Structure 1
Amino acid sequence: MASVYSDLNRPPLNEHRLQRALMVPGVGFGGHSIAALRVLPEVDSTNTALLEAADDGAPHGSVVVAESQTAGKGRLGRSWVAPPRSGLFLSILLRPEVSAARWGWLPLLAGVAARSAVARAAELEVSLKWPNDLILAEPTDGESGSASSPAASSSGLSSDAIPDSGYGVGLKLGGILAEQGGTASQPCVVIGIGINVTLRADELPAPHATSLLLAGAKVTDRDTLLRALLRSFGSWYVDWADSDGDAERCGLAAAYQGACATLDRQVRAELPGGGRVFGHATGIDPEGRLLIRTADGASTPIGAGDVVHLR
């Protein structure tokens, strides 16, 4: 087996150093602390590993980080593939004491936290695609219409040359997957987060993908990024939980809507059962669902599915 130091640009994470920095005994997942943290050299999926740990009684606020995933999970059954130590691959176990009707905000919360961490640590502006992909921010109306988008610049392609992947002219930097588990008496949610950090152009899994390295991030050190991400997530989670899951009251709704590139544009929602909804994305409802105004003027809430940004 090759040494973990065979690629000096991708050093391994230090579990003990991260534990000392992020764990505060007896506090649990509150403020800037977590209850337990493991860094695994290889795992099939961090979500699967943490769901199994939850069944064995793992505490709220447990975190599993993997250097490599052999069966990483994406949304709608897709796989998440990346070279070892080329990104952040982690899952967070939550046992919210909040009405389950408001748990739909948790993946959106993770998106806001990840965006904030990337902005703070890597000095890179990204936006969110509902329900929670991280994409390179697209030019606003106030920017030059003749300039290539940041996504196009990072890939070396013009905007028109980027395949129509459902991201408009944006490129995918990362994704989030929430899965429920546990028992009826002790339910839980596991939030999986994956961010491409040092993938090179020849390692990208798809033409619409990118990485922090390719996007020109100021920092690509995974330790720094992971600390920023978990601290940001913890801070947002505490505010959300303290407001009893009220996304408006804790500021989460405003933060998400301000960062969401899906809103105020034409979209196509591909639903799990095979149906499709076309229309204008107008907002996010109190349960975290995307609202689409269709041609007949009706407002349709979308709670699950794949949303395509139409050009």
Structure 2
Amino acid sequence: MIELEARYLAVSAKAHPEASTWNGSAGEWHPAELSTPRASVRLFAAGIPCTGASKAGLSKNGLSYAEEHPDVGYLFLPTIHYIRLHKPEIVVLENTDTYRGTLSARLLRDALTASGYTFDERVVNPLKEFATPSQRKRWILVASRVGRFSWIYEAKAFASTLADYLDPEGPEDDAESATPKQVAAADKYCARKKAEGAGFARTIVGPEDLSIGVVPKSYAKRQHTAVYVRTKKSYRMLRPREIARLHGFKRDLFAGLPKTTQYELYGQGVVAPPFICLGECIARFLNGELAGVPAGQLELFAG
């Protein structure tokens, strides 16, 4: 596992003590240093940082295109180098939905094709396809060099409300509610942004609502245009355990960590159901395509 942020790597290493870990950017090591054993089926999964590809990242950093980002714009290059050097049987790439149209994505496709891979690529919407209330879309590309992989599933739209995902009203709400001063400041900011034509707006949801917007990595900063939960006094932030439910996790993965870290991990993580489905589909594919791969060997994305 390679992770730039040491706090996140520590969480992952604790959950997967058998894994080798590298703290830093993928560009800091030669791909030969990050080798994997050839004794079993190898799956390479990469979430190239979307800081320069997302709409928010482009706007915040004043970028014209994703590759212009000074810190992460080039990281598709060591990713390509690693894949071409080690040739894992399966490659899974994921990113924000806008990454699909970047130069990086085009070069990744070209490199995979030149290395003998075929691939299945799509933008997944959990709200419309995986019966999950989150609107967090992801671009996912699965490449295979052991046969043509097709990700087949029955799309199922979310058809309920947020009532089962948000905590019921309780004494915590009053203490966590925005103060009149905070509400006034947020109203003023949102009005100014609307007048500027920025399109930013605060979203306040309740149990009766049918979906939830994207919760960003920076959610702990209590940005004026974030998603909040309606209370009797005003509104409050989503709690980490609520985000876990909204993102389709069966448990609160990061309970016990500082709240800011929990928000960051959920905010730049993925919605679980699409990736659980994908992992199961890859395992079935490999069990059918490769002789001698025992059932259950690829228990992917567990948790």
Using structure 1 for the length normalisation, give the TM-score: 0.28
Q: Tell me which structure has the larger Cα radius of gyration.
A: 2
Q: Give 1 or 2: higher strand fraction.
A: 1
Q: Give 1 or 2: higher helix fraction.
A: 2
Using structure 2 for the length normalisation, give the TM-score: 0.29
